[in-house]
Structure 1
């Protein structure tokens, strides 16, 4: 009977150490899984940040291009209007001088009061 108790104790001790080893192995596996998940989440965040940065840069470039095009169109229009005005002044110089004098006279009247 003593031998039977000794065998049972060894079996229980072996089962206990096997269980502890299994638990330790599962804990190690969980640590590895958590490390892999952390890396995956970090990579995903970096990828999303890169995509957002690329979209922001594209929007900035598009806005810059649209602004430059609007500036160029306005500049071309102003130059065209200036050329038209010069042509009209050359065609009718006396009328242009009289109009300029009239505008100056009206401006003087408005600023006096």
Structure 2
């Protein structure tokens, strides 16, 4: 009878081991499935972040372009304003020279004399 009990115990042990292996395989398959889903989720998150980053870069690029256009326009206006002022000063200087040529020549001589003294 001892042999029968040993055979039964051995069969029961083999059945438990087979059941454990089946449960372990099921757990491994479930874990692999979860890992696969997690990888897919991470890929989708990375894609979403990439699209969001690209969108923000495009927005920043557009804002920079608008700001550059604005600065160029402001610079051009400032340049035009300065050119107008210099033109007015030039006209006034020419008018003054025409009205008082001797005073203009004396002034030019004085300025030349002062510059000569300073450069020595």
**Both proteins in one fold, TM over 0.5:** yes
Query: What range is the shorter-chain TM-score in?
Result: 0.7 to 0.9
Residues 63-82 of structure 1: matches in 2 within 5 Å? 63-82=71-90
- Superposed CA offset, 1:48-104 (max 9, x none): 222222222222222222222211111111011001111111112222222222222
Q: Distance in 1 between matches of 2:55 and 2:40?
A: 22
Q: Which runs of 5+ in 1 are unaligned?
A: none
Q: Which runs of 5+ in 2 are unaligned?
A: 1-7
**Most deviating of 84-93 and 54-63:** 54-63
Cα 1:11–1:107 shift into 2, 3 Å: closer
Cα 1:11–1:108 shift into 2, 3 Å: closer
TM superposition score normalised by structure 2: 0.71
TM superposition score normalised by structure 1: 0.75
Tell me what 2:28 maps to: 20
Tell me what 2:48 maps to: 40
Cα 1:8–1:106 shift into 2, 3 Å: closer
How many residue pairs end up in the alignment?
A: 111
Rg larger in structure: 2
